[in-house]
């Protein structure tokens, strides 16, 4: 009885093994387009033979396991390249936005406007008493300031957008790590019996997705679970637990990780690659540098114009003039008083002049106390360590003039109220101490960066105070004098030292400086953005190529080929038919036996 029964048994194992094989083939066909799916193969082995009647006899076939065709080395390399590529492709996107901000192919670009600003001063120097030239320069300057403001705001907005992207990025990361932890748990419990192929594929896909966001290292533990570690050794997944990233820091723009002792570690600067790395590179290196450089440019531009403008005089003087920059501490030296331009002040006994004029415009002689065709100025000497309060007193001591700090701690210089009947106006000249410009007295621009740059409202109210002229050494003023306007046009080709920043996420921001004209500095800045953008684009296209190559290799190992599966299908089908036939033959044999009567 035993041998026919054995044939039946063997046939049964064959039927189930081939059926199983069909099942695996069906699974492969179904997943022909599934990203990250690795094709599976049933591993068939002959069952342990049995000693029977002194002979070894086979007992059929068994499906030992279903193996995955996967090369983990290639998978890891592919993940890494995907991580690189998503970093550079995000950077490319944001660089294109940045390029748009500095688009020079339009009439409203900063470099065109700066050229027109200088040309406006040339026009005034041609016709110093002309009204239309003054209005045109004013309008030009307002547009230029607004363009600086807009660029500053755009950069801040881009910075905010990137922080937003990082925030939603870490939400996604947390979701993925949570999912990986869950899959880890499932794999560990399932793999007590068998290899959990599909779950492993799923986990691989999750790790690959995670890699698109940030650079992680994954280690497989002996129980089959995957430990995932990000920058600076902070563990994101271990066994079936996951550890979340959070936005932190004073401005809520830093990426932090909670360590085992519960305290938050700032890991922002150590996140490289992936979308997160790309966003942070753009935000903390490129945008940060351009913000700092643009501010440095605006600061130096405002200063050089103000420094010359404050020493000139318009078509009329002032009866009272208030500076545009405030001190924070009037009691400390001007050079450390908190003025935006305190470092420009030279207090080594340098001087500036205040001129007074009577109501007819004739100069006042501060030496004799009379007015006439010629005059002498009040000369203020800025001594070493002079405080703002001391400066106020020194000016106030001059005959016919009074000085004070207003409620916002800004310097005001006026005609003495006692002399107002005879003295009509005052003007300034020959300031080598830079005090006037530092306090914003008779300034052209206000502000000290790209964000707050503006045209002095004194000028917007009265274009006649645009200082195209200079008070003569004898105190005379002439409407056709264009000396100050000419001096301002000189600034176009003057080289100055302008701060230039290097921003590095690990080493921080370092300030350097270059000697350059205002225009060249800006042109250089725009060129540098183009260079970075071009190199990011190259990285992206290289990354794309690498990912494509590696994907091809990966697919040649792991992806499904329908031709193969069809062949397998037929292979299993025929084997199944043969096994069925075996049962039929065994059946006939049994019948033959049973019919023996």
Partner 1 sequence: MRVANKAIYDSVKYNLGSISEELNKANEIVTTGKRINNLSDDPVGLTQSLNIRSTLASIEQMGRNISYGNSWLTTSESALTSVQNIISDTKVLCIQMANATIGSDQRSSAAGTVQNMLDEIVSLGNTDVAGNYIFAGSKTDTVPFDQDGTYNGDNNAFAIKISKNSTVEIGSDGEAVFGTVFNTLIDLKDALQSNDVGGIQVAMGDLDGHFEDISAKISDVGSKMNRMEIKDNILQDLNFSNTERLSKIEDADIAEAIMNLSAAELTYQAALASSSKVMTLLTLVDYLK
Binding site for partner 1 (CB under 8 A): 32-33, 39, 95-96, 99, 102-105, 111-112, 114-116, 118-119, 122-123, 125-129, 469, 472, 476, 478-482, 486, 489-490, 492-493, 519-520, 522-524, 526-531, 533-534, 537, 541, 544, 548, 551-552, 555-564, 566-567, 570
Closest distance between partner 1 and the C-beta of residue 110, in Å?
10
Residue 340: closest CA among 442, 406, 407, 434: 434
Closest distance between partner 1 and the C-beta of residue 437, in Å?
23
* Neighbour count for residue 377 (Cβ, 10 Å): 25
Residue entry with tokens 């363009």: 147
Closest distance between partner 1 and the C-beta of residue 231, in Å?
29
By beta-carbon proximity to partner 1, the closer residue of 36 and 277 is 36
Closest distance between partner 1 and the C-beta of residue 151, in Å?
14
Q: Do 586 and 11 touch, CB atoms closer than 8 A?
A: yes
Q: Which 3 state secondary structure label does DSSP give 328?
A: coil
* Neighbour count for residue 33 (Cβ, 10 Å): 8
Residue 311: closest CA among 446, 462, 485: 485
By beta-carbon proximity to partner 1, the closer residue of 448 and 500 is 500
By beta-carbon proximity to partner 1, the closer residue of 324 and 540 is 540
Q: Do 550 and 319 touch, CB atoms closer than 8 A?
A: no
By beta-carbon proximity to partner 1, the closer residue of 129 and 399 is 129
CA separation for the pair 551, 548 (Å, rounded): 5
CA separation for the pair 568, 228 (Å, rounded): 37
Question: Could you tell me the two tokens for 295?
Answer: 């501010």
Closest distance between partner 1 and the C-beta of residue 482, in Å?
7
Closest distance between partner 1 and the C-beta of residue 552, in Å?
6
Closest distance between partner 1 and the C-beta of residue 18, in Å?
17
CA separation for the pair 356, 477 (Å, rounded): 11
By beta-carbon proximity to partner 1, the closer residue of 270 and 521 is 521
**482 exposure class (CB count in 10 Å sphere: 0-12, 13-18, 19+):** buried
Strands 61-68 and 410-415: unpaired
The answer for residues whose C-beta is within 8 angstroms of residue 569's C-beta and 6 or more apart is 22, 25, 29
Closest distance between partner 1 and the C-beta of residue 487, in Å?
11
By beta-carbon proximity to partner 1, the closer residue of 563 and 595 is 563
CA separation for the pair 143, 190 (Å, rounded): 69
Closest distance between partner 1 and the C-beta of residue 221, in Å?
31
CA separation for the pair 568, 21 (Å, rounded): 8
By beta-carbon proximity to partner 1, the closer residue of 114 and 467 is 114
Question: Could you tell me the two tokens for 35?
Answer: 């990203």
Closest distance between partner 1 and the C-beta of residue 108, in Å?
14
By beta-carbon proximity to partner 1, the closer residue of 391 and 469 is 469
By beta-carbon proximity to partner 1, the closer residue of 29 and 585 is 29
* Neighbour count for residue 451 (Cβ, 10 Å): 18
CA separation for the pair 333, 420 (Å, rounded): 31
By beta-carbon proximity to partner 1, the closer residue of 290 and 322 is 290
CA separation for the pair 560, 558 (Å, rounded): 7
* Backbone φ, ψ for residue 18 (5° rounding): -70, -35
* Neighbour count for residue 488 (Cβ, 10 Å): 27
């Amino acid at each position: 009885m035993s041998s026919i029964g054995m044939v039946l048994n063997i046939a049964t194992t064959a039927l189930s093994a081939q059926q199983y094989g069909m099942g695996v083939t069906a699974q492969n066909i179904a997943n022909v387009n599934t990203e990250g799916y690795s094709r599976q193969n049933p591993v068939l082995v002959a069952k342990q033979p049995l000693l029977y009647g002194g002979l070894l006899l086979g007992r059929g076939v068994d499906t030992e396991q279903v193996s995955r065709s996967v090369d983990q080395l290639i998978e890891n390399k592919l993940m890494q390249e995907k991580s690189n590529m998503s970093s550079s492709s995000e950077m490319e996107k944001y660089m294109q936005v940045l390029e748009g901000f500095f688009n020079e192919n339009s009439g409203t670009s900063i470099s065109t406007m700066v050229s027109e600003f200088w040309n406006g001063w040339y026009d005034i120097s041609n016709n110093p008493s002309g009204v239309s030239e003054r209005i045109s320069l004013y309008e030009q300057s307002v547009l230029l300031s607004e363009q600086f403001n807009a660029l500053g705001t755009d950069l801040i907005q881009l910075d905010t957008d990137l922080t937003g992207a990082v925030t939603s990025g870490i939400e996604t990361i947390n979701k993925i790590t949570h999912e990986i932890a869950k899959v880890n748990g499932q794999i560990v419990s399932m793999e007590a019996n068998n290899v959990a192929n599909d779950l492993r594929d799923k986990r691989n896909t999750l790790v690959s997705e995670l890699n698109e966001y940030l650079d992680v290292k994954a280690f497989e533990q002996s129980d089959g679970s995957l430990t995932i570690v990000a920058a600076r050794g902070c563990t994101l997944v271990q066994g079936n637990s996951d550890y979340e990233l959070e936005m932190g820091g004073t401005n809520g723009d830093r990426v932090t990780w909670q360590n085992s002792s519960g305290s938050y570690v700032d890991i922002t600067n150590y996140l490289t690659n992936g979308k997160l790395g790309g966003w942070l590179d753009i935000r903390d290196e490129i945008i940060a540098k351009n913000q700092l450089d643009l501010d440095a440019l605006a600061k130096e531009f405002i200063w050089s114009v103000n420094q010359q403008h404050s020493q000139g005089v318009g078509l009329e003087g002032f009866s009272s003039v208030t500076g545009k920059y405030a001190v924070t501490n009037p009691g400390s030296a001007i050079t450390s008083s908190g003025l935006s331009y305190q470092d420009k002040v030279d207090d080594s006994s340098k001087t500036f002049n205040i001129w007074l004029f009577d109501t007819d415009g004739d100069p006042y002689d501060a030496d004799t106390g009379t007015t006439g065709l010629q005059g002498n100025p009040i000369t203020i000497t800025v001594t070493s360590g002079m405080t703002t309060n001391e400066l106020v007193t020194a000016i106030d001591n001059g005959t016919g003039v009074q000085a004070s700090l207003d409620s916002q701690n800004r310097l005001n210089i006026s005609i003495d109220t006692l002399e107002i009947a005879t003295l009509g106006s005052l003007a300034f000249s020959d300031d080598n101490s830079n005090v006037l410009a530092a306090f914003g007295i008779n300034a052209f621009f206000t502000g000290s960066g790209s964000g707050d740059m503006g045209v002095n409202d004194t000028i917007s109210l009265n274009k006649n105070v645009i200082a195209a002229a200079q008070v003569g050494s004898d105190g005379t003023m002439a409407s056709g004098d264009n000396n100050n306007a000419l001096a301002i046009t000189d600034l176009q080709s003057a080289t100055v030292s302008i701060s230039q920043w290097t921003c590095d996420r690990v080493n921080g921001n370092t300030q350097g400086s270059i000697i350059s004209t205002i225009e060249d500095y800006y042109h250089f800045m725009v060129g540098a953005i183009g260079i970075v953008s071009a190199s990011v684009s190259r990285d992206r296209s290289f990354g794309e190529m690498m990912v494509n190559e590696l994907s091809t290799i990966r697919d040649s190992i792991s992806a499904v080929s329908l031709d193969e599966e069809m062949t397998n299908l037929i292979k299993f089908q025929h084997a199944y038919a043969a096994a069925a036939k075996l049962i039929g033959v065994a059946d006939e044999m049994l019948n033959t036996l049973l019919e023996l009567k």
